[in-house]
Amino acid sequence: MSDNAPKLAVSKTGKTTVIRLAGPSITDQVYINELGDELVAVLEKAVPPDLLVDLNDVEFLSSSVLGKLIRLLKRTRQVNGRLRLCSIRPSILDVFEITQLNKVFEIYPDAAEAMGS
C-alpha cells in the first residue's frame, strides 16, 4: 500500500461507529503505526464510544496490527466504550484463536450480526 492510501473508512450506523480497514495486507510498520493513531483518533471522536472494526477486506495482518487492536480495546474500555470485530477471514481468525485473543475481543461473523448484538 502506498503511504497516501486510506488506511480505514469510517461510517456511522445508528450509534455505532463502523471502521473498515483497508486491505488486503497490513504489514508495513510505518503504515501500521499511522493506522494505530487513526484508530485512536476515531475512538476519541466517537459518541458514544461504540466501535465496530470490519476486517472483511484484510487477507493478512502482522502481529503489530494485533497490538494496535489490543491498544484500541484498552482505550475503548477506559472510556467505558465497546469494541467489536467482524468479518475476520478464517486464516486471521486462527491467529486470534491461537493467541486466545478471541476470548478478549467480541468477534462476529459479519457486520449485521455484530450490529444486532
1 — pLDDT class (breaks 50, 70, 90): very low
Percent helix, percent strand, percent coil in the chain, to nearest 5: 45, 25, 30
Q: What is the pTM of this model?
A: 0.93
- For residue 3, what pLDDT is reported? 53
d(CA 30, CA 16): 28
CB under 8 Å to 12, separation ≥6 — which residues? 18
pLDDT tens-place string over residues 23-50: 888 888 999 999 999 999 999 999 999 9
Domains and their CATH numbers in the chain: 8-112 (3.30.750.24)
Q: In what order do the strands lie in the sheet with 16-21?
A: 8-13, 16-21, 50-54, 82-86, 106-108
Q: What is the pLDDT of residues 82-116, one digit of tens each?
A: 999 999 999 999 999 999 999 999 999 999 999 99
